[in-house]
Amino acid sequence: MTDTDTFPHPVYKDTVLAPLFEGVKTHYAGHMMAINKAHLVMLQEEQILGTEDARQIAQTLTSIETETDPDALTYTGEHEDYFFFVEAELKRHLGDLGGALHTARSRNDMDHTQFKLALQSRTETLIAQLHGLGAAMLDKAQVEKTTLITAWTHGQPAQPTTFGHYLAAALEVLLRDITRLEAAAEGLDHCPMGAAAITTSGFPINRARMADLLGFSEPLLNSYGCIASVDYVTGLYSAIKLTFLHLGRLIQDMQFWSAFEVGQLHVPDALVQISSIMPQKRNPVPIEHMRHLASMTCGRAEAVITTMHNTPFTDMNDSEGEVQQGGYAAFDSAMRCAALLTAFIPAMTINEDRVRANMNAACVTITELADTLVRDEGLTFREAHEVAASVAKEVIAMGQGLEAGYEAFADAFRAQTGRETALGQQSFLEAVSPEGFIARRDRPGGPALPALETAFAIYARDQADLRLKQDARLTRRASAAETLKSAFNSLKEA
């Protein structure tokens, strides 16, 4: 007899079955045991199994759980996978009765149930971590609500705003990302158990009871979809990918702002590395680590999503085992990135002297001068734009800021309109000051303090609402775990 005559083939064993066995040991052994206990309770409650048979199986499951250390197991090929290892242990203790536990179920519905259970815990941890990041953003935005920064568009200085206003924009995106993750978490909250292989079972199973015992909100209704519709995977990893794609843009701004030539962002020494050869260097290396962790998260999430592309709408290994385990790396890099960013945001500060220098050099308040001319001088915006453009061109050529540009303004106004301006020098200075620019923009979503304070209250409310959703899920699952423990122990002692 050759190697190809017996199962498993040595190469198949080493390349597929052994790694899968290791993955189950690491990620799913506990979830599989929970499914075994819940299924046994349901079978007895529905009188599909007698009380005495169920009691013996319950006692044996407890012995297996107590005596077996999954980490100490080595895959030998004696059993196809971890499921059959557990079933073999049941049969070793109980004989044929050990096979009764598998009545009215399949590895198909078990697999997707344990995949969901494994994803639930990781998703809740990530969501909680992102709530922490959101809280850090809101706290920092409130602290920096009047701190001036230069806003950039197309890589060029554009207008003044505040650091609080900028962080509020980033927080809005994060809250929408958490909302998408919340929707994905709801997709994980429907139980596949009872679907069996494809079409449910000829036994009078109670799918709702299985969902309750395992902490799900309800069964996933269509049994075919329970084993074929892996949108719980693609939806989740899409939401993760978008979250860290968006955070990566924020992180890239930090890299740009901290550049010596810009100097808008100051990174404290605790988050700076030095050069081994150049004494003058202050390298904000954590920003680079956050950027690559965000990108790695996007790539790892995309790898899972792409694996589902053009796969058949049925049970398939493309959505199971190694693919599920491979996706967990996305959670790892995501959580590292979120943790570092949560620490980084409160620590960073704005270099206000450099901000003002950049504002003066780039004439970023010139839009308000044009607006003032429309309001106070009755010009059309296009006329006002021409006057303002002339002033900006002149003061930049002189190497001065707008505060030195009143004469250039008066000349440009006269040339454009054929009359003298009624705008005095003091009014001109108010129009081109960053503080005046921001104070004028007291519209919903604007950077003026009243508008920003209103926005902060909305963000705090939205954060609280999202936290309540998660708290409700976690409370329900904790209660379900206690219910399962009590029901299983009662059965064991019956």
pLDDT at 394: 92
Tell me if the bond preceding 10 is cis, omega within 30° of 0: no
Q: Which whole number is the average pLDDT over 432-458?
A: 96
**Which pLDDT score is estimated for 281?**
87
Q: What is this structure's pTM? A: 0.93
Indicate if the pLDDT at residue 147 is higher than 90.
yes
Distance CA 148, CA 428 (A): 20
pLDDT at position 5, please?
Answer: 75
pLDDT at residue 280, as a whole number? 87
* pLDDT tens figures, 250-280: 999 999 999 999 999 999 999 999 888 888 8
Residue with tokens 């605790």, as numbered in its chain: 270
**For residue 231, which phi and psi values (nearest 5 degrees)?**
-65, -15
Mean pLDDT over the full length of the chain: 95
CB-based burial, 393-426: b 16+ in 10 Å, e otherwise: ebbbeeeebbeebbebbbbbbeebbeeebebeee
Each residue of 177-231: pLDDT tens digit? 999 999 999 999 999 999 999 999 999 999 999 999 999 999 999 999 999 999 9
Structure tokens at 308: 């589902």
Residue 3 has pLDDT above 60, yes or no: no
145: which 2 tokens? Answer: 């609500």
pLDDT, tens only, 29-42: 999 999 999 999 99
pLDDT number for residue 276: 85
Residue range 220-238, pLDDT digits in tens: 999 999 999 999 999 999 9
Instruction: Dump pLDDT digits (tens) for 323-377.
Output: 999 999 999 999 999 999 999 999 999 999 999 999 988 999 999 999 999 999 9
The predicted structure's pLDDT at residue 436:
93
Contact (Cβ atoms closer than 8 angstroms) between residue 362 and residue 150: yes
Per-residue pLDDT, 1: 44
- Give buried/exposed letters for 351-383 (b at 16+ CB in 10 A, else e): beebbeebbbebbbbbbbbbbbbeeebebeeeb
- % pLDDT > 70, the chain: 99
